[in-house]
Amino acid sequence: MQEKPKAPLAGIVYGEIVYWITLIGMIVAVIGAAIYLFGGPQYAKSSCVLSLLWEGEDVHEIWEKCAGHAIHGHWYLKKLGSGDGLGMLGIAFSCIAAVVGVWVSAFTMLKEKEKILYPFLAFIVAVILTLSALGIISLKH
């Protein structure tokens, strides 16, 4: 009888982290959307957003007309009291899952004494994801 090979710890850790963070983010996003739809405080008026969205309006126009100004960056962090702000926080939380997961996975690889190339590659990926999430790599126009 062959022995089952052990799955690399770095992979297991990554899988657990991204699963739970994404799930929590999704739940927060759903709660935010429910508040937004069922009469809670709104940063951008829902009927305005949807009508302009369905008219095919440019996304910047939608924000300008419905929230009063164009947005850029982590706008939701200042609007957590609103349903759409909370919903967006949930979405952003889901999107941060892989960033955290890859960092932890990279350190786990180092600790597990994996061939040095792989923690190095994992750190490169982690840096790219972090720069992207911080908005250092972004679309400024």
Partner 1 sequence: MDLKKKWKWVLGISIVTIIMSLLGNKIVYAVEEAAETVAPAAEKTLGISPIAFFFLFLIACILIGIVAVLAGVGGGVVFTPIMMGFTPIDSFVIRATGLFVAMAGALVAAKPFLRKGIANIRILFYGAVPYAVCAVIGALLAGYVKATMGIKGEALVRGGLGIIVIGISMLFIFAGKKIEYPEVGEVDSFTERLGLAMAYWEDSLGRVVNYQVKNAHIAAILFCGVGLISGLFGLGAGWAMVPVFNLVMMAPLKVAATCSKVMIGIGDTAAVWPYIMGGGILPIFAVPCMIGLIVGTLIGAAIMIKIKAGFVRWLIIAIMLFSGIRLLMKAVELWKAASAVVS
**119 neighbors 99 (Cβ within 8 angstroms):** no
Task: State the minimum distance, in angstroms, from the CB of residue 121 to partner 1.
Answer: 4
Residue 30 makes contact with partner 1 by CB under 8 A: yes
Give the residue, chosen from 26, 40, 107, 110, that forms a contact with partner 1 under the rule CB under 8 A.
26
Task: State the minimum distance, in angstroms, from the CB of residue 78 to partner 1.
Answer: 14
Q: Residue for token digits 């955290």?
A: 100
- Locate 108 and state its tokens: 């786990």
Scan residues 88-127 and list those touching partner 1 (CB under 8 A).
88, 90-92, 94-95, 97-99, 102, 105, 109, 115, 117-118, 121-122, 124-125
Residue 46 makes contact with partner 1 by CB under 8 A: yes
Total binding residues for partner 1 by CB under 8 A?
78
- How far apart are the C-alpha atoms of 78 and 54, rounded to whole Å? 27
**53 neighbors 141 (Cβ within 8 angstroms):** no
Q: Residue for token digits 């937004």?
A: 36
